[in-house]
């Protein structure tokens, strides 16, 4: 059941990531088209492309932890003996998870500040943009802790 849920979650996040990236590309193409081929320019495209990029990054961060594709300096870690390398990788993942937990909790008071603000071009409540902090911190934290559990099980 748990693996089935995580597989489903991976698919949903992957699909949302592709939708966000595709939307960003299409919106930027619309912006280019409107500047050079139309008599008027679409004014909201730059802001919407920025929002898509922020969500694309936020959604992809958790999947990057899951797939272990973050950029890292592995020279030092690879010099360690296997047992020390295991502990170091676990400490790094746990520290990442704890930092994301702090970010997750810290995002809620920020919502009180931005809930009265709207974006300039789209007139969207800025809480929706700042919710990307919750998305990223939750999924990075989830996958970091799951990676630690998986490493311990494999050991």
Phi, psi of 154 (to 5 degrees): -70, -25
Instruction: Find the mean pLDDT for residues 56-67.
Output: 94
Q: What is the count of structural domains for the chain?
A: 1
pLDDT at 74: 80
For residue 155, what pLDDT is reported?
Answer: 81
SS3 78: helix
Instruction: Please choose, from the candidates 77, 70, 44, the residue with its C-alpha nearest in 3D space to the C-alpha of residue 140.
Output: 70
Q: Look at residue 2 in the predicted model and tell me its pLDDT.
A: 64
Largest CA distance in the chain: 65
The closest of 150, 152, 154 to 6, measured between CA atoms, is 150
pLDDT tens per residue across span 119-141: 999 999 999 999 999 999 999 99
**Whether the predicted model's global pTM rises above the 0.85 cut:** yes
State the Cα–Cα distance between residues 136 and 120, nearest whole angstrom: 24
Q: Report the pLDDT averaged over residues 14-27.
A: 97
Look up the domain containing 73 and give its range.
2-154
Mean pLDDT over the full length of the chain:
92
Instruction: Give the mean model confidence (pLDDT) for residues 4-15.
Output: 93
96 pLDDT exceeds 80? yes
| d(C-alpha 91, C-alpha 81), whole Å | 15
Is the Cβ–Cβ distance between 3 and 149 less than 8 Å? Answer: no
- Are 128 and 107 in contact by the 8 Å Cβ rule? The answer is no
């Amino acid at each position: 059941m748990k693996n089935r849920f995580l597989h489903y979650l991976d698919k949903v996040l992957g699909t949302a990531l592709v939708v966000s990236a595709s939307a960003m590309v299409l919106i930027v193409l619309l912006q280019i088209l409107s500047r050079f081929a139309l008599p008027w320019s679409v004014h909201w495209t730059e802001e919407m492309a920025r929002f898509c990029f922020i969500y694309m990054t936020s959604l992809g961060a958790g999947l990057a932890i899951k797939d272990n594709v973050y950029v890292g300096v592995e020279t030092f870690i690879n010099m360690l003996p296997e047992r020390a390398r295991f502990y170091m990788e676990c400490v790094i993942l746990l520290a990442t998870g704890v930092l994301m937990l702090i970010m997750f909790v810290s995002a809620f008071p920020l919502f009180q500040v931005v809930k009265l603000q709207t974006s300039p071009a789209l007139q969207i409540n800025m809480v929706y943009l700042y919710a990307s902090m919750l998305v990223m911190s939750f999924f990075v934290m989830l996958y970091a802790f799951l990676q630690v559990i998986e490493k311990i099980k494999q050991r």
